[in-house]
Structure formats: C-alpha cells, structure tokens
A and B are shown apart, each in its own frame.
Chain A
C-alpha cells in the first residue's frame, strides 16, 4: 500500500529555521513534491525531488533519501506569511505521472 506521514502541526519564530519531515511508503517511487497551502486557497508548488540530495530554491530547500523513504522541507528566515499548511506528495511508478498521493499536511504557525 501507500502511506505518507508528516507532523500535524509545528510552530516556529519569525526569522528562525524550521524543518518539516515526511516519510513515505509506496509501491514504486517516481518523485516527491512539496506544496504550500494557505487557508482557503489552492495548493501552490514549492519543490520537486526525484534523486537523492538537496534541492535549494531561495529560502526553501527540500531533501530526499529514497533508501530511507524520507524527505524534509527546510524553511529559512521564516516570515509571518509562511504560516500555512505544507503538503508532502509522492508519485508512484504505477498510475501515471499525475496521480499524486498526498500526506495530511503540516500546519505551520510562525509567531513574532
């Protein structure tokens, strides 16, 4: 089967660094995505990993270890606007390129 786990909630302070973890079990693996979703809005794409290692994009970085079934999203220099839900999603080998399996999401609250 397929299973994706991420923490339900996290809190952090403005200006700090936060790491959101995601572990997954899938029947085959063909990429891992991170999305950001503000309350009442659509998810927006943050990052994509298909090979092991770190992908950096501005204040956001995403890491993948396929052998461990593990990824994390790193947010640096936190801003109040980063308060949102962060969704980890995995694409399996079967089912096509657009069948994403999402985790339940991590609600991040950034405090002053």
Chain B
C-alpha cells in the first residue's frame, strides 16, 4: 500500500505570492489533516477534511485555506505569503471512521516552504 504523498517537496516563494500544496492520502483513507511545523512552534493543526468537507479547523488566519476532492486528494492554499509562513507543511491521512479507537494518522514527507 503506497503511503501519503505530498508535492512539491520543496518550494521557494516571495512575500505576497500565493502557493498551493498537494496531498494524496493512503488509498481508502477519507480524512486528510494539515499541519504546519516550525522550529519555534512545533506542529500546529491547520485543518482537517473528510469527504470533501472541512471537519475541523485550527487557529490560523483566513489566508490559509484548503479543499478536498472526491478522490480524497487534498490541496492547501496560502495567499499573500509572509516571511513567517516559512515552515514544513505536513499532511496526515487516516480512515476518519469516527471510531473512538486510535484512528492513527499517517504523515506524508512534507513540503518545505521558504518565503523570501
């Protein structure tokens, strides 16, 4: 079974630009969560999509948005980039069944975004 894939792996943008990151979950997984990881703040939850609907949202500004397609692939968009948006963006997939079991999340390798 293929793992979670993210594209691109590395990206360099300048302030004010926008960026779109892509995540393909494990086959059969319907939930995709996005996280931002920075050395100072650690891993912070951005949002979760399940069956094409945003199910949960973290405390990030509206410049951060996402969507999910019918095949469960998800995209994340950041508009009007700021220097502080430089980070590793990780997506994680899970079955999202809603069971009260562990519902383990499997992480992708991440997209490292650098904003100059």
A interface vs B, CB < 8 Å?
30-31, 33, 35, 41-45, 48, 50, 87, 89, 95-105
The interface residues of chain B lying within 8 Å CB-to-CB of A89 are 43
> What is the CA–CA distance of A96 and B75 in the complex, to the nearest angstrom?
20
Within 8 A of A (CB), among B66-109: 90, 92, 94, 96, 98-100, 102-109
The interface residues of chain A lying within 8 Å CB-to-CB of B8 are none
SS class, residues of chain A in contact with chain B:
loop
Closest CB in chain B relative to A33 CB, distance in Å: 8
Ranked 8 nearest A-B pairs via Cβ: A102-B43, A42-B107, A48-B102, A104-B42, A96-B56, A99-B56, A98-B48, A97-B103
Interface range for B: 20 to 34
Q: Given A98-B105, A101-B45, A43–B56 Cβ distance below 8 Å? A: no
> What is the CA–CA distance of A98 and B48 in the complex, to the nearest angstrom?
7
Within 8 A of A (CB), among B2-32: 4, 31
> What is the CA–CA distance of A99 and B45 in the complex, to the nearest angstrom?
7
Q: Given A97-B98, A99-B33, A99-B48, A45–B56 Cβ distance below 8 Å? A: no
| B109, A100: Cβ atoms closer than 8 Å | no
Q: Does B44 count as interface, using CB distance less than 8 angstroms?
A: yes
Q: Given A97-B98, A98-B56, A99-B58, A44–B33 Cβ distance below 8 Å? A: no
